[in-house]
């Protein structure tokens, strides 16, 4: 669904997108979430995606990362079908980004699919996506370390982390 963008408000959307993204990460720290926090996690992640779609100078890379964030929020809460849906949306946005995406964006697309498949109990597909995620070459050592830590982090729903 597309909404008209008020260009005069696009900078405000960008500021809100950044704030919502950072606020979502505050709840993705590995702590167990109560019911209210679970709702808040979803609201924050969807707010980030909403605002990135309307932000000044937003690109397919921003949309890729926003869809990944919504997928991760759903996976964290055990919502496998929704996690997979948003992982697939992230992959569509990544494809649209052509060569403007970072190498780690490609790795995270596989990580999102792997986590969603694991949540759904589709362990073979999850493991295959974990392997693909780990195999993406990352040029920057710091990016590699961050990605490997994220790939090892729960939830994996009984599937051993890569």
Domains assigned to the chain? 7-152 (1.25.40)
Mean pLDDT of 83-106: 97
Percent helix / strand / coil, the chain, rounded to 5: 75, 0, 25
Which residue is associated with the tokens 């999102």? 112
pLDDT for residue 7: 47
122 pLDDT above the threshold of 80: yes
Radius of gyration of the chain (CA): 15
| ω into 155 cis (within 30 of 0) | yes
Residues contacting residue 111 through CB under 8 Å, at least 6 positions apart:
129, 130, 133, 147, 150, 151
129 pLDDT above the threshold of 50: yes
pLDDT in tens, 28-37: 988 899 999 9
Asked whether 130 and 145 are in contact (CB, 8 A), the reply is no
Q: What number of CA atoms fall less than 13 Å from residue 42's CA on the CB side? A: 14
Residue 107, classified by CB atoms within 10 Å of its CB into exposed (0-12), middle (13-18) or buried (19+), is: buried
pLDDT for residue 18: 95
pLDDT in tens, 36-81: 999 999 999 999 999 999 999 999 999 999 999 999 999 999 999 9
């Amino acid at each position: 669904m597309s909404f008209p963008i008020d260009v005069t408000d696009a900078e405000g959307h960008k500021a809100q997108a950044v704030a919502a993204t950072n606020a979502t990460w505050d709840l993705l720290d590995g702590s167990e979430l109560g019911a209210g926090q679970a709702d808040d996690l979803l609201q924050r992640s969807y707010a980030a995606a909403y605002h990135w779609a309307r932000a000044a100078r937003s690109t397919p890379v921003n949309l890729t990362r926003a869809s990944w964030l919504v997928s991760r929020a759903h996976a964290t809460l055990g919502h496998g079908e929704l996690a997979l849906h948003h992982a697939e949306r992230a992959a569509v946005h990544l494809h649209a980004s052509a060569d403007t995406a970072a190498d780690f964006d490609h790795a995270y697309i596989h990580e999102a699919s792997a986590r969603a498949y694991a949540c759904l109990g589709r362990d073979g597909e999850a493991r295959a996506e974990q392997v693909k995620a780990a195999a993406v070459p990352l040029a920057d050592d710091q990016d590699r370390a961050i990605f490997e830590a994220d790939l090892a982090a729960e939830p994996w729903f009984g599937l051993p982390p890569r």
